[in-house]
Structure 1
Amino acid sequence: MSRTYLNDNWNFSTEYTDAMLQADYDESSMESVRIPHTCKEVPFHYFDEQMYQMVCGYRRNIFAPETWRDKSVVLTFEGVAHSAQIFINGKLVKEHNCGYTACSVEIGDLLRYGQNNQLTVRVNSREDQNIPPFGFVIDYMTFGGIYRDVYLEVREKEYLEDIFVKTLLPPELKSHPEKKAAEHYPAKIVSLIQIHSDDIQDPEKEPLYIRQKLLKKDNEDLALGETEISGNEVEIEEAVSDILLWELDDPCLYELKTELVRSGKVIDTRVDTFGFRKVEFETDGFYLNGNKVKIRGLNRHQSYPYVGYAMPESMQKQDAEILKQELGCNAVRTSHYPQSQYFIERCDEIGLLVFMEIPGWQHIGDENWKRQAIQNVKDMIRQYRNHPSIILWGVRINESGDDDEFYIRTNEAAHELDDSRPTGGVRAHKKSHLFEDVYTYNDFSHDGKAPGCEPKKNITSDRNKPYLISEYNGHMYPTKAFDDEEHRREHALRHARVLDAVAGQNDIAGSFGWCMFDYNTHKDFGSGDRICYHGVLDMFRNPKMAAYVYACEAEDGDTVLELSSSMDIGEHPGCNRGATYIFSNADSVKMYKNDHFIKEYTRKDSPFQNLKHGPILIDDFIGDEIKKSGDFTEKQAEEIKSALNYTAVHGYGHYPAWIIKIALKALLFYHMKPEDAVTLYNSYVGDWGGSSTIYRFEAIKDGRIAKTIVKKPMTAYHMDLTVSSRELLEQRSYDVAEVRIVMRDENGNQLFYFEDPVIAETEGPIEMIGPEIVPVRGGMTGIYVKSLGESGKAALTLRCLGADPVRIEFEVICPDNNEG
């Protein structure tokens, strides 16, 4: 089999007409575009979603060489939003009514060999169609266009149409992923193979054989054997030994090379990537390879600023890396639709568990709508079932009501196509009818005061079935990167409370927070500017404070050390500091004030005891300074210290009885005056009217300082950049690099109220996605640049008033032929 990518050389119009089906159609008014493509670039916010809802047209030539004659030629679109009619030389060959699954069609009989052929696609991105997820309001924008890869596969008439690779591991298996040396296990590979052939049982032809080889990815192969076949479907089971397991921290991948052979000649070859792992949802939680794992994940939309869904491989894979490596998650839910194969491939490679579901949002339509939803279940499972990272199929429309007949059918379809994985179905109501294997529920009960989650017994209709929380927080407490400090702190603490509560419930498999990053939404939702500010990251994937709650749970990555406060008293009402939290995954954190040691905090000091590294409340701003002053006895110093630290967090007035008792003792026995308390507070806690206080925090890991934070008045600022890649490599289409920008002072502290714009200028074969002047929001922003199909040196220069300009150099690499 050979694959040819058709991502370049498209012509596009925002208005489709049937005249586009004509070979001599005048394309001079059409725009030249490359795939992935959005039918309409949009502003960052404050835009009307009608902008991208249209019936648009795409045209492209396909040259069909004579060598393709008498071959099978299959055309595949990985993602067209949302209804597509595909025409070859003016003839309709396929209609596909799902914007989130791939569609393929055989076109060999319609091609004119030795000449160009006209490929035309009519794309309907309107939301008034009778297909999922449409039919009512939706809390996310459903951007349009041909936004995933397009390619041709040329094969013999007889070929391997589909292969589902299942692995069987010993039932008693319990791996030891914590061991440094890899362990080897016995296993079986079961291949369910479908063969495309019209005369497979023709006695006049030599028989067909299946030949298979197993190889550890990027390693030596192992021959499995050869099997004669007599029908279009065959199941092959092979025993293998000494295999390595797919684990979260060591996700070993294998490749199964399958050849279709006749008379010693290889007719077709296919390579499928998979992993050996055992997935089990039990009454008391989730198990991977026999070991209990608490799922800790976030929900992900597939959207980006300006271009909606249309981002290439590098950006899709980066999101998986952010979830695993920056946020410390072990799982992701693809809310509310199947997402890019590139994203899921990266989840396979780095060990990120995936809960994937069909398109939909609350609404269930008529019988035609339901038939399409069931087809979506089938397409999703067929197209993604070899990914070892996927552990659960979502076969219920997100947050929909009960519909027994419909959900019996979706579950039957899922189990028929994949009996190796359980099904789930996300609902927003308790005790609903349950046909899935796992009760998945959106628990929004935490409002800042209520417990982090409800117990399983209050939610499920069958306590013998596993239970998983599929969403929490989100709309309960929208938080912008530029909200005040108290608001951002409460957002982080709400995530910590839910994570802590779930970690403490042994019969809850885990949870998925809402959500990974802010996203564009319709006028019915969000903050009126077409954005839902529900993310722990902003739209450019910059972290908000809540992101550090997740990042702290990863012990093997970079050392995390963040503070919930800028330590500026004027940020707070009444100039009271309020509660200040340390976020760190270090062994301990030492706190200093004006170079005087105050206290060393460890994970045991966190009120979130079910988390490995929960947020730690700073309860001491004084240390032994009062005691060392010599003005008080040791007991007096401790009592005054306690009173002052309480005031630092809670402010003046409304004191509890124990504080009032200390105050009375100070007046009666220590001979202090009321104004002395103010003097003591300003001397040991407050900064009002005196010289500036400098705070330093040191994260200690393995006995060494791993990271330091210094909080002091800023005198200068700069742009701190995170560049996804300085090499733009065009493999199948254009490539994109993201530059995340955070404004920081000279000590590395984020300037949350910085709002001046950043001005971008490009040189060489790259261009900006979106505007060249981008505002800073919450002290951070982002910029995307894309390659233009030409190799060479390129540069991006960023300028911001008051900061030194920054120049980023890129190398753009474009092979001679992207369509190979």
Structure 2
Amino acid sequence: MKNVLRLVFLIFLGCSSVSCEWGSGGNILKRASGPRTIENYNSSWLFQRQEGKGSKWEKVNLPHSVKIEPLIVNNQWQGTSVYRKSFNVGAPDGKKWFFHFEGVMQEARVFINGNEALIHKGGYLPFTVDATPFLVPRSENRIKVEVINKDDSTIPPGKVLKDLDFNLYGGIYRNVYLIKTNEIYITDPVQADVVNGGGILIHFDDPNEDKASGIISTHVRNESDKDRQLSLDISFTDRNGKTTNFKSTEYDIKAGEELTITRKVEIEEPLLWSTQQPNLYNVKVEVKDGRKVIDRKELRTGIRSLQLTGKDFFLNGEKIFLNGTNRHQEYPYIGYALSNEAHYRDAYKIKEAGFNFVRLSHYPHASAFLEACDELGLMVMNAIPGWQYFEEGDFVENAIQNIKDMARRDRHHPSVVFWENSLNESEMPEEFMVRANEVLKAELPYSSIYTAGWIDHSSYDLFIPARQHGKPPGYWNLYDTPHRPILIAEYGDWEYYAQNAGFNQKAFNDLKEEERTSGQLRGAGEARLLQQALNYQEAFNSNLKGGQTIGHANWLMFDYNRGYARDLEASGISDIFRLPKFSYYFYKSQKAPGKDKFSEPMVFIANYWTPQSTTSVRIFSNTEEVALYLNDELIERKTAEINEISDSLPYPPFTFELENFHKGELRAVGYINDQEAARHRVQTPEMPIKIELEADLSGTNINEKGVDVIFVYARIVDKNGTLVPTSTAPIEFSLVDNPKNAKIIGGYIINAEAGIATILLRTERFTESIKIRANSHSLGESVLTIKNP
């Protein structure tokens, strides 16, 4: 029912995007809204990689990656590719035609009917092409996009791929829209290029539960040949359907000119946005010429107050600690070409893990991800592209433009609480840092806008070092400044991985110590997964011991590929397929027990209970007491273990010492107020005998109108349904009846890792169920019917 209500709400909004103000939602192929139409333009492109005479054109739908890569990407494809699409233009009707691109990696050259319409440099932020001057009426027209994805030091992050800590996957990897408006229209905020303006801009000053007072500015362009007198109708509608209306006086706008119309707004008893109650407002602005509506735009935003002091962070007047993670927007095989729903599922998993905050690493992520954070109640640190690189000249100018475009795209997301206008781990000169902060403050000149930088410079509001940038054993616990708090932007991996080796990434082969590293694949085995969880616990606990730390973000949520490394970066608390490791449950246990699905009481036994397992059984729980049973015999009921690496944790782990291993069942029961609140059981795995299939939807249905990607897991289990974590059996996947709207990505025969084999399933216009088969010569066959609830 939740998914149905969510879809209804998105349709009611007309568009789901706060960021680009007219919608990135792949759920709606076409939306006609009176004078303005928005058409999803993702389908039926022709695509070609320019690899010589043998290059062929193929028909593709967006989002699209220029090449399907292997699971471990050691030689990512780089080069030039071409996308093209034909479209019909009727008789002249006075309409403006715009093509809006949410993201192209990383240089795009757009041609309309052979005419160069725009060159855009930068892979993470949107751009809009005004196609109107190049259209040929009453004929077939063509749009062509040359996508150049090569090393380019002038385009942030700037560093060559072979030395970069992440990958730059080429292609038109986000959504494309065709927008048609009248000649008088509300602009796109990025395309308009107006400081603290363009499009629709909303700001509230220090709202509270009684009243929210602020302004709404609307930037209108008149490309007709007549002077006009315009007025605006504005409405704010909350989740309950309560609407507050505002009207403007009439304004004169001359032919060929543009105008910013600003009006004061006040909402009584607003529903504030918070992590527990992520209330959102649908905002509608209508431009009228007399009684006629000549343009209409809708966006979604939230109302909340932020305050950052020298030592604390407040949301809506409540002091809050930011317990967060980092995320890369990468999927296996397809790189960055995620559907909107896939971005939502990532945000959903981050929320499920107990986090209230996510840092975008190390670039602006898709609008769809920010929309999900808005909807789910996740606070966000937005970031411009950058990692260990700086050069003067065009690189600087492009970085500054990234700051402007990021601010203009994302200024209405209530989830965005910090702006990392800093080139991550890069030696930025003071002049750049000062200029970067001045540019952002000009774009968003409000007291609740807070900048963040990894260098401790007075121009930043927040200092965001990684834990390893400090010195053990105190790290940042003794940091002391009267003006600037600290948020530990990364922790838990590098200080264990390379013993504080600094930035000499090339030296990791000589420094890696397998018993200490937090980089552990899910199949690394029980002992090493426990070590990873212990590392995160120790660092988490240490971070809470000092001074001015308002929050922290672990490194990281999901495993990913790196340009400079020959293996996966495996510090994720979930693997690249989004399957949790033991560390995931440690974090889930650190959130106070509540009644909603994101904060339920929980208990987890971090043990497979095999003859090789440790008999020192570690249990993660947010309950007051835990009882452990072995084969229904009570071992002990106790409170949590308090020691030097758990004494500051909200919910320290429980440790039970068993004398010997005995085959059977471990059962943990968690108690709150002496009442059972949660339970978990593990059972000694026996011989694997069958496959159980599961599709991961994580809070949202499969897209029925466009492209989607989901994970399908084949679990190898014994006769009791217990996962066999030692199994690496090859599983062969196939689609029953060869459906035209689905494709297996990444291979059909997959070796299980820790008892689970995973495929990526790509769907298009998912209107009918799909059957997927998994089989093995020793385990038999299993068939799963995938359908939306």
Give TM class, smaller chain: 0.7 to 0.9
Q: How far apart, CA to CA, are the structure 2 residues paired with 1:352 and 1:62?
A: 40
Indicate yes or no: 2:149 matched with 1:149.
no
Structure scoring higher RCO (CA < 8 A, sep ≥ 6) equals 2
The residue number in structure 2 matching 1:755 is 728
Q: How far apart, CA to CA, are the structure 2 residues paired with 1:502 and 1:228?
A: 56
Distance 1:64 1:790, change over 3 A: farther
Aligned to 1:444, the other structure's residue is in SS state helix
Deviations 1:435-459 (A, max 9, x none): 2111111112699xx547421526x
The 5 A counterparts of 1:552-631 are 552-554=589-591, 555-556=593-594, 557-571=599-613, 577=615, 579-603=616-640, 608-618=646-656, 620-621=657-658
The residue number in structure 1 matching 2:320 is 293
Aligned to 2:523, the other structure's residue is in SS state coil
Q: How far apart, CA to CA, are the structure 2 residues paired with 1:444 and 1:74?
A: 47
Moved more, 698-707 or 293-302: 698-707
The residue number in structure 2 matching 1:63 is 88
The 5 A counterparts of 1:636-647 are none
Distance 1:251 1:46, change over 3 A: closer
Indicate conservation of the 8 Å contact 2:351/2:378, yes or no. Answer: yes
Q: How far apart, CA to CA, are the structure 1 residues paired with 2:536 and 2:719?
A: 30
Shift of residue 804 of structure 1? 5.2
Indicate conservation of the 8 Å contact 2:153/2:395, yes or no. Answer: no
The 5 A counterparts of 1:722-741 are 722-725=694-697, 728-731=702-705, 733-741=706-714
Indicate conservation of the 8 Å contact 1:744/1:750, yes or no. Answer: yes
Q: How far apart, CA to CA, are the structure 2 residues paired with 1:98 and 1:157?
A: 29
Indicate conservation of the 8 Å contact 2:692/2:782, yes or no. Answer: no
Indicate conservation of the 8 Å contact 1:69/1:108, yes or no. Answer: no
- Name which of 158, 183, 197 aligns with 1:134: 158
Shift of residue 722 of structure 1? 4.2
Name the TM-score, length of structure 1 as normaliser.
Answer: 0.81
Deviations 1:276-313 (A, max 9, x none): 10112221121100111110111110110101001111
Deviations 1:37-57 (A, max 9, x none): 0001011115312xx201111
Structure 1 runs not aligned, ≥5 long: 20-26, 174-183, 622-684, 814-820
Aligned to 1:191, the other structure's residue is in SS state strand
Q: How far apart, CA to CA, are the structure 2 residues paired with 1:511 and 1:537?
A: 18
Distance 1:30 1:129, change over 3 A: farther
Shift of residue 384 of structure 1? 1.0
Indicate conservation of the 8 Å contact 1:206/1:263, yes or no. Answer: no
Q: How far apart, CA to CA, are the structure 2 residues paired with 1:718 and 1:290?
A: 54
Distance 1:810 1:88, change over 3 A: same
Distance 1:720 1:794, change over 3 A: closer
Indicate conservation of the 8 Å contact 1:378/1:414, yes or no. Answer: yes
- Name which of 93, 109, 128 aligns with 1:85: 109
Shift of residue 99 of structure 1? 0.4
Q: How far apart, CA to CA, are the structure 1 residues paired with 2:788 and 2:281?
A: 32
The residue number in structure 1 matching 2:462 is 438
- Name which of 291, 306, 318 aligns with 2:345: 318
Deviations 1:83-137 (A, max 9, x none): 0000000010111101000010211121112222110011011124521112342
Indicate yes or no: 2:229 matched with 1:207.
yes
Instruction: State the AA in 2 paired with 1:562.
Output: F
The residue number in structure 2 matching 1:786 is 762
Higher helix share: 1
The 5 A counterparts of 1:217-296 are 217=239, 219-230=241-252, 232-296=259-323
Instruction: State the AA in 1 paired with 2:111.
Output: F
The residue number in structure 2 matching 1:13 is 48
Instruction: State the AA in 2 paired with 1:473.
Output: G
Q: How far apart, CA to CA, are the structure 1 residues paired with 2:406 and 2:445?
A: 14
Aligned to 2:762, the other structure's residue is in SS state strand
Name the TM-score, length of structure 2 as normaliser.
Answer: 0.84
The residue number in structure 1 matching 2:3 is none
Q: How far apart, CA to CA, are the structure 1 residues paired with 2:159 and 2:47?
A: 28
Shift of residue 567 of structure 1? 3.6
Q: How far apart, CA to CA, are the structure 2 residues paired with 1:805 and 1:139?
A: 40
Deviations 1:439-488 (A, max 9, x none): 111112699xx547421526xxx441121111112342211112233321
Instruction: State the AA in 2 paired with 1:65.
Output: G
- Name which of 420, 425, 430 aligns with 1:404: 430
Q: How far apart, CA to CA, are the structure 2 residues paired with 1:446 and 1:722?
A: 43
Distance 1:185 1:806, change over 3 A: farther
Aligned to 2:250, the other structure's residue is in SS state strand
Distance 1:743 1:546, change over 3 A: farther
Indicate yes or no: 2:522 matched with 1:484.
no
Aligned to 2:269, the other structure's residue is in SS state strand
Indicate conservation of the 8 Å contact 1:213/1:258, yes or no. Answer: yes
Instruction: State the AA in 1 paired with 2:712.
Output: V
Q: How far apart, CA to CA, are the structure 2 residues paired with 1:129 and 1:235?
A: 40
Indicate conservation of the 8 Å contact 1:542/1:781, yes or no. Answer: no
Aligned to 1:299, the other structure's residue is in SS state strand
- Name which of 158, 164, 168 aligns with 2:205: 168
Shift of residue 783 of structure 1? 1.8
Distance 1:585 1:718, change over 3 A: farther
The residue number in structure 2 matching 1:193 is 218
Distance 1:3 1:352, change over 3 A: same
The residue number in structure 1 matching 2:785 is 809
Indicate conservation of the 8 Å contact 2:326/2:555, yes or no. Answer: yes
Aligned to 2:612, the other structure's residue is in SS state helix
Aligned to 1:471, the other structure's residue is in SS state coil
Q: How far apart, CA to CA, are the structure 1 residues paired with 2:753 and 2:55?
A: 40
Shift of residue 362 of structure 1? 1.1
Indicate conservation of the 8 Å contact 2:688/2:716, yes or no. Answer: no
Aligned to 1:543, the other structure's residue is in SS state coil
Deviations 1:392-441 (A, max 9, x none): 111111111131111222111111111344343442x6xx4332111111
Deviations 1:731-786 (A, max 9, x none): 2x222232244445556654333211221111333221221111212333422222
Q: How far apart, CA to CA, are the structure 2 residues paired with 1:93 and 1:734?
A: 27
Shift of residue 603 of structure 1? 4.1
> RMSD of the TM alignment (CA)?
2.6
The residue number in structure 2 matching 1:517 is 558
Structure 2 runs not aligned, ≥5 long: 1-35, 188-198, 254-258, 498-516
Q: How far apart, CA to CA, are the structure 2 residues paired with 1:335 and 1:138?
A: 13
Instruction: State the AA in 2 paired with 1:793.
Output: S
The residue number in structure 2 matching 1:388 is 414
The residue number in structure 2 matching 1:419 is 445
Indicate conservation of the 8 Å contact 1:132/1:373, yes or no. Answer: yes
Deviations 1:4-40 (A, max 9, x none): 11111101110189x9xxxxxxx99301111000001
Q: How far apart, CA to CA, are the structure 2 residues paired with 1:217 and 1:783?
A: 37
Q: How far apart, CA to CA, are the structure 2 residues paired with 1:549 and 1:517?
A: 15
Using the aligned pairs only, state the percent identity.
Answer: 26
Indicate conservation of the 8 Å contact 2:47/2:58, yes or no. Answer: yes
Q: How far apart, CA to CA, are the structure 1 residues paired with 2:585 and 2:395?
A: 41
Alignment coverage as a number of residue pairs: 701
Indicate conservation of the 8 Å contact 1:398/1:425, yes or no. Answer: no
Deviations 1:512-551 (A, max 9, x none): 11111110112x33xx33x111211100000011111111
Q: How far apart, CA to CA, are the structure 2 residues paired with 1:288 and 1:717?
A: 52
Instruction: State the AA in 2 paired with 1:485.
Output: E
Indicate yes or no: 2:382 matched with 1:356.
yes
Distance 1:108 1:692, change over 3 A: closer
Shift of residue 214 of structure 1? 1.2
Deviations 1:693-738 (A, max 9, x none): 653322345623632314435344554554234963332x222232
Indicate conservation of the 8 Å contact 2:602/2:677, yes or no. Answer: no
Deviations 1:181-223 (A, max 9, x none): xxx42111311221112579x7xx4421121111114624221
Deviations 1:239-278 (A, max 9, x none): 1101111011111100111111111111111112111101
Q: How far apart, CA to CA, are the structure 2 residues paired with 1:105 and 1:213?
A: 29
